[in-house]
Structure 1
């Protein structure tokens, strides 16, 4: 059986739309979120921090 499935670049994050009122605070390497609806945006920003080159 052959499939043409392309793996997600971030398999831990579902295909999900960020809620319009999601709120995350980011100050350089500090990242903070308070509410459950902010978790997806927090995850995306956290992955972005991990993928940045070391300064």
Structure 2
């Protein structure tokens, strides 16, 4: 269980990591493999919303 601050920091890291890797659904697959859905699929939903 991450705290709010940790979650924000994690999202920022995820953004910087995925910058420059957006081609069709490639980002989702890459992020999923790299991050791995981060608890309850929070990252998945967030990535899908951002993309």
Normalising by structure 2, report the TM-score.
0.31
Q: Higher strand fraction: Structure 1 or Structure 2?
A: 1
Q: Which has the higher helix share?
A: 2
- Which of 1 and 2 has greater Rg? 1
State the TM-score, normalizing by the size of structure 1. 0.30
